[in-house]
Amino acid sequence: MIEFNQATQQFHFFSQNDQFTLGILPSGHLAFYYFGEKLGNVDLSYVVTEIQRASYLADTDCIKDFKLEQLPLVYPAFGNPDLRTPAFEVELADGSRLSDLRYQKHQISTKKEIKGLPTTLHESAQSLQLVLYDCVAQMEVTLIISIFPEHDVFTQHVRIENQGITEVQIERCMSVNLDFLSDNYDLLTLGGAWGRETHLNRRKVTQGFQGVDSKRGASGHGQNPFIGLLAPDCQENHGELYGLNLVYSGNFLASAEVDMHQNTRLQIGINPFAFSWALAPGAYFETPEVVMVHTCGGLNELSLRYHRFYQECLLPKKFAKKERPILMNNWEATYFDFDKEKILALATTGKELGMELFVLDDGWFGQRNNDDSSLGDWTPNEEKLGGSLAELIQAICHLGLDFGLWIEPEMVSPKSHLFQAHPDWIIRVAQREPQQVRHQYVLDLSRVEVQDYLIEVLTKLLTENQISYVKWDMNRNITDAGSRGLSPNHQQELGHRYIVGLYRILATITERFSELLLETCAGGGGRFDPGMLAYSAQIWTSDDTDAIERLAIQEGTSLLYPQATMSCHVSAVPNHQVGRITSLKTRGIVAQQGNFGYELDLLALSEAEKIEISRQISEYKAYRRTMQLGRLVRLAVYDATNEHGWQQEDEDYLILNHVFVLAKANTVPKRLKAINLENNARYQLVDSQRFFTGAELMSIGLSIPKPTTDFASTRWILRKLEE
Ligand code: DGJ
């Protein structure tokens, strides 16, 4: 676990397979010695003392050749005298921006919750609180570095306390800084845009500053709060890599900086852009935490570690390991154009086909028949619903379905009673006309009265109605960042205060309604991050429901996030986003990579389509445990530009899936090989008399039928036999 070696002044964190080591230098600065496979409690000071580089850098404390800028540091503060990008920067009352953080004391304890922020927790987790002190600023900076030994996961966050007598402005406080003594790495990030989120983006690191960030007020469609550093030979199933994933849903920065000595400095944390925090005497500030994984087992091993960790240490306990219902959502079936008759007809057919939960999407409230009004007026439109919401729910539950409801609490339409009553509740800068996106404004969740109002509205809605699931949407980013609730020198706190306010609402509602299954959404995957996963056990992965587009989106999302968290629906063809026509079979196989559902007009289905949907649903129900809660890994394919393969596996079943994008004539015979099985384990292909050993499945694999059309797919389900 955590050991402090008094003689070497080094802290060792030992997990099952890995080790993280840092130490106190004679000057009191902290050096980062090692993050890698387990070595043991050995003296690693040579990592620092053997650095030999001719340089043009300042000596520290006037000690000849003691140059902080060429050392791997743990939490570098600006300018004293490391001139690389700091992890920490403050502005003091005298206008100076230097700080000098030196070791003061430390303590080891069990891991505790971070107040007001989502936190990863486990009974076996241990934390080191390393207190650094700046005597001039009278500021205490505590690094809380934790280890989850069984999960091979390390986390870190930072607590900053002003012990002086004047206010201090925090300008930058990254959650972690890792200095690597090499630039021979690739960088991996997840990015894209609305409708094509979380695509894997791998490139070589080069001298200078690179990375991803969000200034949107949410983690965003264009980037995920993740950064990976990979050895150049790292592939799916072998090779060394590091992953940093921030448990945060707001503006973030994830960067790699290669300095002039070819060191790579990796950081992740709250985006310093448009952020500063006025810390009054006696006050403290805590950063969100970062989840750090190292492995030599390639990208698949990284994914397996993150998946297991999030399932066991982050997701809401009640749902983390619970099978999720197969839902039917009316959005792509009706958009805003529905009435009671249509909803009940959809629900009736959904039930007949085997679906379990009916979700009523946007358009059930106020006067909302398109996207230009009524957000904020969460009063059911009884004319449209043909009676009260409670009556509609009763009718749906009477069919034997659970009921779920869409809501977008963070927003308000200019055309709404709420806006008429509280025009000052929106995020905006006085004197400037606020911008609208999708005809809506963002409510200022940094203000407690707005948070309280939303808690009250949601509590009423959920108390008065039998709602077992909520889809919590968020369809625009923050522009016009300004809050009436904050004085001028606190305005730059808005982004973080908004997210903390959102977390407070989510925590209160999920505590009050502990049986409620919450799915979050931000125009698809615009806020698919570990912060949201602490409250919502599933997230709508993307508004792009095309099966082929989803291959890359789900591949990237599942790099970090467990399959049960990725909501994936079968939709109509031609697909509403890209116009592609794919078979119902392929749409089903792709959507069953995650948390499965449908959103298409069930009333327009042919008999043959209904038979196929019933078959898909029965199959999913039979193997749901494996498909939602089992281990998901990506499989090697012959042509990665045209094929995707993945494996879902647990103690009972092995499910192999393969999708061709385009059909090609006369190619080599292709086989799909499983991974991570025991050589001697025995498997039976269900509904057949074919038997295989784990070794056969991994070494020879199964024959992939030649595609006779574009977008062809194959699935094999194998039962694991008793030893
Ligand atoms: C965006 C979501 O991603 C969609 O699924 C749908 O709920 C719409 N908003 C409704 O406005």
Question: Is 543 touching ligand 1 by the criterion CB < 6 Å?
Answer: yes
189 and 252 share one domain? yes
On the question of pLDDT at 260 being above 90, the answer is: yes
Q: Are 538 and 564 in contact (CB under 8 A)?
A: yes
Amino acid 54: pLDDT:
74
In a domain, 320, yes or no: no
Question: Is 540 touching ligand 1 by the criterion CB < 6 Å?
Answer: yes
Q: Is the dihedral of CA 527, 530, 535, 540 positive or negative?
A: positive
Q: Alpha-carbon distance 500 to 452, whole Å?
A: 13
In a domain, 319, yes or no: no
495 and 451 share one domain? yes
585 and 685 share one domain? no
- By the 10 Å C-beta count (0-12 exposed, 13-18 middle, 19+ buried), 566 is classed as buried
Amino acid 52: pLDDT:
85
Domain tally, the chain: 3
Beta-strand runs (E) in 84-167? 88-91, 102-110, 126-134, 139-148, 153-162
Question: Is 332 touching ligand 1 by the criterion CB < 6 Å?
Answer: no
Active site residue 473: yes
> Which CATH number covers residue 482?
3.20.20.70
Q: Alpha-carbon distance 46 to 537, whole Å?
A: 45
On the question of pLDDT at 26 being above 90, the answer is: yes
Domain end among 313, 346, 370: 313
Amino acid in position 693: T
Q: How confident is the model at residue 189 (pLDDT cuts 50, 70, 90)?
A: very high
> Which CATH number covers residue 659?
2.60.40.1180
Active site residue 337: no
* Cβ contacts of 696 within 8 Å, gap of 6 or more: none
On the question of pLDDT at 723 being above 80, the answer is: no
Instruction: Look up residue 385 and give its two tokens.
Output: 């619903």
307 and 366 share one domain? no
Q: Is the dihedral of CA 425, 430, 436, 439 positive or negative?
A: positive
556 and 648 share one domain? no
* Interval between CA 522 and ligand 1 midpoint (Å): 8
Q: Alpha-carbon distance 424 to 430, whole Å?
A: 10
Local structure of 21: helix, strand or coil: strand
Domain end among 593, 625, 657: 625
What's the DSSP call for residue 300?
A: H
> Which CATH number covers residue 124?
2.70.98.60
Q: Are 185 and 229 in contact (CB under 8 A)?
A: yes
On the question of pLDDT at 307 being above 90, the answer is: yes
Select from 334, 474, 543 the residue to mutate for testing ligand 1; criterion: most ligand atoms less than 8 Å from CB: 543
Identified catalytic residue from 473, 529, 544, 546: 473
Select from 540, 542, 571 the residue to mutate for testing ligand 1; criterion: most ligand atoms less than 8 Å from CB: 540
In a domain, 209, yes or no: yes
166 and 123 share one domain? yes
DSSP strand pairing (196-204 vs 691-693): unpaired
In a domain, 318, yes or no: no
653 and 620 share one domain? no
In a domain, 408, yes or no: yes
465 and 519 share one domain? yes
DSSP strand pairing (469-472 vs 517-520): parallel
List the domain range (segments joined by +) for residue 665: 634-720
Mean pLDDT along residues 15-30: 98
Q: Alpha-carbon distance 473 to 524, whole Å?
A: 8
In a domain, 240, yes or no: yes
Domain end among 259, 286, 313: 313
Select from 336, 362, 410 the residue to mutate for testing ligand 1; criterion: most ligand atoms less than 8 Å from CB: 362
**Considering the chain, what percentage of its residues have pLDDT values greater than 90?**
98
CA distances from 10 to 21, 181, 376, 583 (A): 7, 19, 55, 59
Question: Is 646 touching ligand 1 by the criterion CB < 6 Å?
Answer: no
In a domain, 552, yes or no: yes
341 and 281 share one domain? no
* Interval between CA 334 and ligand 1 midpoint (Å): 12
456 and 307 share one domain? no
584 and 708 share one domain? no
In a domain, 215, yes or no: yes
Amino acid 642: pLDDT:
97
Q: Are 78 and 102 in contact (CB under 8 A)?
A: no
Instruction: Look up residue 353 and give its two tokens.
Output: 């086909």
CA distances from 89 to 80, 160, 197, 457, 709 (A): 11, 11, 32, 40, 58
Question: Is 197 touching ligand 1 by the criterion CB < 6 Å?
Answer: no
330 and 305 share one domain? no
Mean pLDDT of the chain: 97
DSSP strand pairing (102-110 vs 88-91): unpaired
